[in-house]
Structure 1
Amino acid sequence: MSDRPVVVTAAGAVRGRDDGRVSAWRGIRYAEPPTGALRWRAPVPARPWKGVAEAVRFGPAAPQRPNPSVPLAPGEPGGPRMDEDCLFLNVVRPSAEPAFGRPRPVMVWLHGGAYALGASSQLVYRGDALATDGDVVLVTLNYRLGALGFLDLAAAGVPGAETNVALRDVLLALAWVRDNIRAFGGDPEAVTVFGQSAGAGLVTALLASPAADGLFHRAIAQSPPAGSMYGPERSGRVARRILDHLGVAPGDVGSLRGLPVEAIVDAGAAVYTEVPRAHPGTLAFAPSVGDDLLPESPLRVLSEGRGLPVPLIVGTNRDEATLFRLMRSPLLPIRSASLRRMFSAMRDEQERLGQPDGGRLPPRDRILAAYAGTRMSRSVRVATDIAFRMPALWLAEGHSAVAPTYLYRFDYAPLLLRLTGIGAAHATDLPYVWGEFGGLPHDPSFLFGGRRAAAAVSARVRARWAAFAHGAEPGAGWPPYDSDRRATLVIAREDRTAADLDAALRAGWGAQILSFG
């Protein structure tokens, strides 16, 4: 096998690298640059090229403020490359021929980052271990972020602006997979889309989008903020904030499309923190509900069993909110005052929507009873559950009626993270899914040991995810979720299955969904 393998795609030939373990093609263009007249417009498929395009390094990340907690692969001298021309993807497959001579199943990754940060070039997403141990073809991709990807300018009255352009990026990338992945040895009829945090939110949006039907066949949502998607009124308010920061009127389309990208990133960074501080529990950037792609809130669609009927793994980490407390992030309402404001806003919104008694908000005392005896800050637990755990439970309950659904909770944390009170925080599952423990610089997680145990946990998680992608059940001892037993896999030093693990939470929060959608 050549160490510089060439594959011919619909747009042209690409040359990658093979190191004897994996063949990798990095930085394949799947769309034209979304710049100039294409800024805030649906992506356009990449035009055909002549010759052989080199695909040996990651394409630029979407423009964003650098963040030490989201380390990107080094690019040019001076740091990672970022560019508005960012719509590139990567393909990694095992070097060895498939065991049975058939195309391999495909796993397509959507990175997280609060819809404003991250890239496929994050070090933890290298993919060698997941592709080889799982015997899959792995695709990772960039999509537009922040104000360039999740700003609903149409709701603010900007002529010619399109909605949900980042979600349209993802749909175009999935169409690229459908049309091209067979040339890389992948099976276009066995595509699993998976993601974490905002990436998992996009997975739930795909499950609720008629436009995604047929583009994927299985789904995995790790810590999905499924309740954090908003209709035109709220999206329009965020867009008007951005326009105010930029000093541009909604009708001045020429000025908007000619602005330096740095100005848009700066305005987006300001609004990124302003919105959750002014309105606890909400995000500045998220998919917009009410257009042709997302006619309804994904949380509502899936909880009512109306999503695309594909098998689903969904779950959360036990201590999601501790990361946000540690980073003093405004994205989650941790303080009691912020939580009270969030519940008040939810009640007001439900009343506005015609539910005069505050809608289905459960009584405060009933919610707090669910946390009796908890050893962690009650507000941290409440923030974890309203942002992540309860949406996952509502999704599992509804989707299990239309397709096999598997619910989990990731509990594993090495000793240092337990001693410091961080525990199994948001995003701490990523190295275990990817088998990459060098993705964070100066990571102290194993300062007190535990790497061998962590490697064993990682091997089990990757085996489960890969088995699912291959069309099987996700490993032994994990039955599908149903409304009788409500089986949940607890991923820990030793995995176990619990019946109705979240009974107290369900009793406290109730069965009806709560969101700003």
Structure 2
Amino acid sequence: MTATESAPAAHGDGDHVVVTTTHGALRGEWRGGVARFAGIPFAAPPVGDLRFRPPAPASPWEGERDATAFGAVSPQNPSMMDALFGGEAEPWDEDCLHLNVWTPDPAPADGAARPVMVWIHGGGFEMGSGSSPIYDGTRFAEDGVVFVSLNYRLGSLGFLDLSSVDPAESGSGNVGLLDQVAALEWVRDNIASFGGDPRDVTIFGESAGSMSVSLLLTVERAAGLFHRAIAQSGGLMAKQPEHATADTAEFLAAAGVETVAELRALPVEELLKAHAALSAARLADPQAVIERTGSPVAFLAFTPVADGVVVPSDPLGAVAAGSAAGVDLIVGTNLEEWKLFAMLTPAIDGDDGLRSRLALVTEDVDGAIAAYAEDHPGATTADLDCALLTDVVFRIPASELADAQAAHATVRQYRFDWRSTAWGGMLGAAHAIEIPFVFDMVSDHRIHVLIGPDAPAGLAAAVHDAWVSFAVDGAPTIAGLGEWPALPAPRAGDGRPVVVFDAETGVQDDPQGATRRFWTG
């Protein structure tokens, strides 16, 4: 699937290309017939007095700015993903608000403005970057799309709500989300210089990136900055202000400070140490944190806040009321999301452990067990625990988002069922497994540790082409199936068509419907 039939420009690797933006000239380079511009500042360095504050405008520069190397990423502690992929951590710095652009041609001969896709990375709001090699935008650009990836502030720098310490810091719990908005504003003002159409922007992301995409549907300042959205494994996750207040007090104690001024004066390394201490304490006793907050992902100390300032107090209600009317949506999850996290957490203790787990999230334990028995006949207790946590953290929030938006736009839903052969098959269809398929990178040997060496290239082409065709005209097509069927609008009719991506991709009507109906009522 291509957005244009024009031939790619004939440039050799390493040839330079220059574009002019609102802040100055950028010098990128051609790589494999695609022009790449890296490390572009879209906001001022969020340092000093700007730490914990909304992003400020970037300053212009004189002459040509080198855009051939990626910029520093947001400060973060070492991540399990770095260890999993066997790579070195990317250099970080508080001056991290950079984005990257891949384009088939900044000045297409046919004069056509190309569709734009903006990727928001995942990582639990505490790790990751837009410059990770697994998010290479080359294949999107080869298919005629202008692809953008971005960094945003992570951890305490992006999501520490300080309003309970100083009311003047209202909105500080969502400055990482505002970084994403600032990047989208940069796209609006500059992407035409790269051959992109600012009136045809699709945002997409996975995990925390998907949660960000979902929340951007509710952020007033983001309205009009994007026109379609894809949410991969993440719904409308935002903590309530009272939980943010408790988390902030816990973090200040770990950092050994009492005031915002003291916090701003701390070296960033001290912030990371406090973050690590907080995370370690929560992972040591996740049950206590879940009981306190009612959230199975409360071990994540830093997430967006439903503060009523940046994010509405009721994000799902805002979407249901039409906060993103007209924004078509693809939303979905993987069959066995929790298997990735099960490798890092202790197993439950038999049926009693499963009942205890269910009691944390529902008063109708017997009803839940009946629903899971119907959807997962013959499953082991461990499998049921994985299904439960997959549902509560990922699938049900995704389904609720789909239902809320279906009243106001065209919504399509998927489930990714293909099981990885890596690690002796332990990962299965786990969290993040679909990313190499979306980016059509299953042949990249660096990713084989996640998906194995024999992932089906045809499935990767089908998923990638569906994402591209959605960005091109909003009518995604799937090889062998034709146009992707949409969910019916609420009360418009029966049926819930879900595309199930696997070695044999097909459409199923409301797969695992008993548990979906149990959780959504």
TM range (shorter): 0.7 to 0.9
The whole-number CA distance in structure 1 between the counterparts of 2:409 and 2:151 is 29
Residues 468-479 of structure 1 mapped to structure 2, 5 A cutoff? 468-475=470-477, 476-479=482-485
Q: Which of 384, 399, 402 is 1:393 aligned to? A: 399
How far the C-alpha of 1:371 sits from its partner, in A, is: 4.2
| Residue 322 (structure 1) aligns with | 339
Query: What CA RMSD, in Å, does the superposition of the two structures yield over aligned residues?
Result: 2.8
Per the normalisation by structure 2, the TM-score is: 0.86
1:180 matched to 2:169 = no
What is the DSSP-based 3-state SS (H/G/I as helix, E as strand, rest coil) of the residue aligned with 1:327? coil
227, 242, 245: which one pairs with 1:233? 242
Match among 380, 384, 387 for residue 390 of structure 2: 384
**What is the number of equivalent residue pairs in this alignment?**
488
Structure 2 partner of 1:43: 55
Aligned to 1:279: 289
Q: 1:139 aligns with which of 148, 157, 163?
A: 148
Once the two structures are superposed, residues 116-155 of structure 1 have per-residue CA deviations (whole angstroms, 9 ceiling, x without a partner) of 010011110111112213x100000000001110111113
Instruction: Give per-residue Cα distances to partners, 1:287-309, cap 9 Å, x unaligned.
Output: 10023221233334335655443
2:349 and 2:306 map into 1 onto residues whose CA distance is 26
Correspondence 1:396-435 to 2 at 5 A: 396-416=402-422, 420-435=425-440
Structure 1 position 109, deviation (Å): 0.4
Q: How does 1:113-512 map to 2 (within 5 A)?
A: 113-133=123-143, 135-157=144-166, 159-160=168-169, 162-226=172-236, 228-249=237-258, 252-275=259-282, 277=286, 278-280=288-290, 281=296, 282=298, 283-302=300-319, 306-328=323-345, 344=359, 346=361, 363-375=367-379, 377-416=383-422, 420-437=425-442, 441=446, 443-444=448-449, 450-451=454-455, 454-475=456-477, 476-482=482-488, 483=490, 484-511=494-521
Q: Per-residue displacement from partner, 1:98-129 (whole Å, max 9, x unpaired)?
A: 58531110000000000101001111011111
Give the 3 Å change call, closer, same or farther, for CA 446–317 of structure 1 in structure 2.
closer
Tell me if the contact between 2:106 and 2:194 (Cα under 8 Å) persists in the aligned partners. no
List alignment gaps of at least 5 residues for structure 1. Answer: 348-357, 512-517
1:471/1:323 CA distance change after superposition, 3 Å:
same
Residue in 2 that maps onto 1:351: none
Larger deviation, residues 55-64 vs 373-382: 373-382
Q: Distance in 2 between matches of 1:334 and 1:69?
A: 28
CA distance in 2, matches of 1:95, 1:185: 6
Q: Match for 2:379: what amino acid?
A: R
- What amino acid is the match of 2:388? V
Contact 1:490 1:497 survives alignment (8 Å):
yes
Pairwise CA distance, 1:457: 0.8
State the secondary structure of the residue aligned to 2:264. helix
Q: Which has the higher contact order (CA 8 A, sep 6+)?
A: 1
* Structure 2: 5+ residue stretches without partners: 1-8, 291-295
**Are the counterparts in 2 of residues 163 and 291 from structure 1 also a CA contact under 8 Å?**
no
Q: 1:338 to 1:245 in 2, by over 3 A?
A: farther
Is the partner of 2:486 in helix, strand or coil? coil
The amino acid across from 1:197 in the alignment is S
1:12-51 C-alpha deviation (Å, 9 max, x unpaired): 1110001341100000011111011000000101011111
| CA–CA distance in structure 2, aligned partners of residues 336 and 238 of structure 1 | 32
**Equivalent position of 2:6 in the other structure:** none
User: 8 Å contact 1:70–1:118 — kept in the other structure?
Assistant: no
Which residue number corresponds to residue 20 of structure 2? 8
Give the 5 Å matches for 1:78-93: 80-93=90-103
Q: Which moved more, 1:8-17 or 1:268-277?
A: 268-277
Q: Secondary structure at the match of 2:448?
A: coil
| Per-residue CA distance 1:291-338 (angstroms, 9 max, x = gap) | 3221233334335655443000000000100000013389xx999778
Find the residue that maps to 1:242 and give its secondary structure: helix
- CA distance 1:492–1:193, shift in 2 (3 Å): same
- Specify whether residues 204 and 336 from structure 1 end up closer, same or farther in structure 2 by C-alpha distance, changes over 3 A only: farther
Aligned CA distance change for structure 1 residues 233 and 326 (closer, same or farther; 3 Å): same
Q: Quick one: which amino acid aligns to residue 455 of structure 1?
A: A
Q: Distance in 2 between matches of 1:457 and 1:414?
A: 13
Identity, in percent, stands at 39
State how far apart, in whole Å, the 1-side matches of 2:53 and 2:107 are: 40
Q: Distance in 1 between matches of 2:301 and 2:230?
A: 25
AA aligned to 1:279 is V
Contact kept, 8 Å, 1:15 with 1:54, in 2: the verdict is yes
Using the TM superposition, give the Cα deviation of residue 272 of structure 1 relative to its aligned residue in structure 2, in angstroms.
Answer: 2.8
Which shifted more, 98-107 or 361-370? 361-370
Cα distance in 2, alignment partners of residues 438 and 46 from structure 1: 38
* Counterpart Cα distance in 1 of 2:360 and 2:388: 16
Distance in structure 2 (CA, Å) of the matches to 1:334 and 1:26: 49
Q: Distance in 2 between matches of 1:345 and 1:9?
A: 52
For 1:22, which of 25, 29, 34 is the aligned residue? Answer: 34
Give the AA of the match of 1:153: L
